Chain A
Amino acid sequence: DAGVIQSPRHEVTEMGQEVTLRCKLISGHNSLFWYRQTMMRGLELLIYFNNNVPIDDSGMPEDRFSAKMPNASFSTLKIQPSEPRDSAVYFCASSLRQGQETQYFGPGTRLLVL
């Protein structure tokens, strides 16, 4: 079991550029979560999906952020245009099903927007 896989692990970009973060769920898991972690705000839930359907996106900061699940095992989080305040570590996590709080986290993507 490879666990949750995230790519890239590190990303440095300039303000205004598009950034795409990728996440592969654990095989057989049906729920997917995107989190953002900063020193100031801690670990925040951005959005979560169940069976490829977005259930709660209330944590998405603004329209510059979008997330998709093109299939049951893969998700992307896109920021366009990126801003320096988007610099953070972005984690995705998966769980077996909705209501299953045992979430398995990926290693995170460290994003730096200059």
Chain B
Amino acid sequence: DAKTTQPPSMDCAEGRAANLPCNHSTISGNEYVYWYRQIHSQGPQYIIHGLKNNETNEMASLIITEDRKSSTLILPHATLRDTAVYYCIVTDSGGSNYKLTFGKGTLLTVNP
């Protein structure tokens, strides 16, 4: 009952922008889009989240389509250390029984 769909893998050249897509066509009005990543052998790391507006922080930008059925995580200048599995998660913020459900994610490989 995955709420999101992501490509299993992507490649990116070092220094270029990495654009990771996510489809969440069944998202409801009170659900946020969260992105986490997991570098090999480490725990997952929060990247960014948003509801309907585009968001930017020191790590990445999140672009959410107007209908909210899809989003794109952008790493503006990918480095080798950005090689990781990236998870797109849809969740009901503030819900009484919320939880993060991790799918298979996208393995991003940044090549030199």
Interface-side segment among A40-48, A60-68, A75-83: A40-48
The one of B32, B42, B91 in contact with A107, judged by C-beta atoms closer than 8 angstroms, is: B42
Look across to chain B and name the residue whose beta carbon is closest to the beta carbon of A110.
B41
Residues of B within 8 A of A107 (CB): 42-43
Contact with A along B13-35 (1 / 0, CB 8 A): 00000000000000000001010
Q: Is the interface of A mostly helix, strand, loop or mixed?
A: strand
- Known A-B contacts A55-B97, A99-B95; A91 and B44 likewise in contact (beta carbons under 8 Å): yes
Contact B46 A45 (CB under 8 A): no
In this assembly, does A93 line the interface, its C-beta being within 8 Å of a C-beta of chain B? yes
Residues of A within 8 A of B38 (CB): 43
- Known A-B contacts A56-B97, A91-B44, A105-B43; A43 and B102 likewise in contact (beta carbons under 8 Å): yes
Residues of A within 8 A of B99 (CB): 33, 45, 48, 56
Q: Interface size for chain B: under 10, 10 to 19, 20 to 34, or 35 or more residues? A: 20 to 34
Q: Interface size for chain A: under 10, 10 to 19, 20 to 34, or 35 or more residues? A: 20 to 34
Residues of B within 8 A of A74 (CB): none
Q: Is the interface of B mostly helix, strand, loop or mixed?
A: loop
Residues of B within 8 A of A42 (CB): 102-104
Residues of A within 8 A of B89 (CB): 101
Look across to chain A and name the residue whose beta carbon is closest to the beta carbon of B42.
A107
Look across to chain B and name the residue whose beta carbon is closest to the beta carbon of A108.
B43
Contact B104 A101 (CB under 8 A): no
Residues of B within 8 A of A4 (CB): 43
Closest 10 CB pairs of A and B: A105-B43, A99-B94, A43-B102, A102-B46, A105-B44, A91-B43, A45-B99, A108-B43, A101-B91, A101-B34
By a beta-carbon cutoff of 8 Å, the part of chain A in contact with chain B is: 4, 33, 42-45, 48, 55-56, 91, 93, 98-99, 101-108
A-B contact pairs, 24 of them (CB 8 A): A33-B99, A42-B103, A43-B38, A43-B44, A44-B102, A45-B99, A48-B99, A55-B97, A56-B97, A56-B99, A91-B43, A91-B44, A93-B43, A98-B96, A99-B94, A99-B98, A101-B32, A101-B34, A101-B91, A101-B93, A102-B46, A102-B49, A105-B44, A108-B42
